[in-house]
Structure 1
């Protein structure tokens, strides 16, 4: 829900303040370009309860990590974002929601070389949970956004996706967990990148309505595990043909429930 209070928060960038979790979070994000939506909330709500250290790769304005912090799913979080104006918005969002003491923003490219990530403050083998909502159109797919930050957030080839999963694996501690939300059409590439580094993979398909194909998937894996893949039943997000969410998802978006899977 937009509070419709634009302000010049970052030079040359007009932002809005938007409410999430039934008003428990208020986040500043660009009026134009890539804007956080339900995927970010679902990703944050999918973090297991009791997680001590969380890493959000490609965090944007911080929505997923802040959802996990605000709902008590994670105790503390590091947010990685390469776009500097967006990273500044993430820092401001932590402060505005009284979460600055539990989170920090690291301005670095997820696909950068390991030594550059380390020098920026991203730790190796350190996090209980690593989450990501990677760019989802492969090269040549979809319509390239005119806004540069939005285009970066939406377009990535399979090689770059593999680099994201390499960073995910390098950042997770032994037996740590990775959770990624991704379009269902890209599941093959995502599983290929996951399976090289994680076991005990669990796939949760999400469909917009009863009888519709899954439109997105959540994939979870455990670093170092050899357990086989599990495919969970599809969960339906909307009731009938309208825009109303099912009770389960309505409770998640209001901040009254987690995405337990």
Structure 2
């Protein structure tokens, strides 16, 4: 009873619902099933199981993205409330504790989405290697095969790159030219989180991102500023020489 209770407390603490936990469990189960089928040479069965795994990952991405949205909204609300209290000369330590917890929840959920994006990236290519077709991919992402093929600059691109570069499941009737978190596109959001995580936290990713930006926007990159978040969650603007230019105030 104590063990089950502690699991429940951990789930509630992280904001994970019972439904999400079931999806996570089923996904881990299918990872094993795919591995066994591949090992036994049952390619057709493995292909079907890989598709099911991708469907589960899609559900998991929706749940994780919602937790990120909830944490961001709660954090903004706390920061706004804290500013009002400070302007009135009131300081409540519990507010700082609440803010730190929300910041941690947000970081954990964002890391989970990035990891999920990596899993989707790898599973898409595994699914393709097991015989999945472009038609299968378009059906999974609910997009038109003819339109996708017309967009492809390199037809031999792997499924992972096609899905990521062309945002296959992202459909916004009010397209503003950038990806909006509110749009239901679980594969796109998870894959972008994975790539962003690589750009921010790996030397190879940072170098590739900077090289691409310098090639496309040389004038901008010459005077580019970097946003760095310190241990207290404060965002600071740093110039190319490492000098702090300003502090960003998230509550404004």
Normalised by the length of structure 2, the TM-score is 0.28
Write 1 or 2 for the structure with the bigger share of strand. Answer: 1
Normalised by the length of structure 1, the TM-score is 0.27
Write 1 or 2 for the structure with the bigger share of helix. Answer: 2
Larger Rg: 1 or 2? 2
